[in-house]
Amino acid sequence: MLTLIKKIFTWWNQETFGTKLYTIFFGKFIGKDEFGNKYYESKKGKRWVIYFDEIDASKIPVEWYSWIHFTSNKIENNHNLTKYDWQKPHKPNLTGTASAYYPNKNKNAIKKKYKTWKK
């Protein structure tokens, strides 16, 4: 029962009840990526993604990014994409967490090249 209520009222967790109904009635399943995200398209041409776990737009792989943004209508299903040594693995969006990036962690490291006003 709690799961049903959670599905109906929380959009940040997973798809909402309305999105689920819209997907069932109007969505045509196009494919699935390595993260488990599912991609759909309507007859009118609207495209959307149902995320597998946590909703994070940076989890859309390159081959699906161009399709979902209408850059290309062809889906690059080459799962053997060459990964180079300099390419980093996917890192989730850490904004709002303790691991978030702060450019000026050490405030004393940056020396001012000017003096502030005094009255």
| Residue 28: DSSP 8-state | E
Paired with 32 in beta bridges are 38
Report the pLDDT value the prediction gives residue 26, as an integer from 0 to 100.
93
| Residue 114: DSSP 8-state | S
Paired with 50 in beta bridges are 38
Report the pLDDT value the prediction gives residue 79, as an integer from 0 to 100.
52
Report the pLDDT value the prediction gives residue 117, as an integer from 0 to 100.
80
Report the pLDDT value the prediction gives residue 49, as an integer from 0 to 100.
93
pLDDT along the chain (119 residues), means of 10: 67 73 92 89 92 82 85 66 75 82 66 73
The amino acid occupying position 75 is I
Going from N- to C-terminal start, the domains of the chain cover 29-77
Map tokens 């709002």 to a residue. 96
The number of C-alpha atoms within 13 Å of 95 and in the hemisphere containing its C-beta is 3
Report the pLDDT value the prediction gives residue 76, as an integer from 0 to 100.
63
Report the pLDDT value the prediction gives residue 40, as an integer from 0 to 100.
95
Report the pLDDT value the prediction gives residue 7, as an integer from 0 to 100.
64
Q: How far apart are CA 14 and CA 107, in angstroms?
A: 39
The encoded tokens of residue 91 equal 């890192």
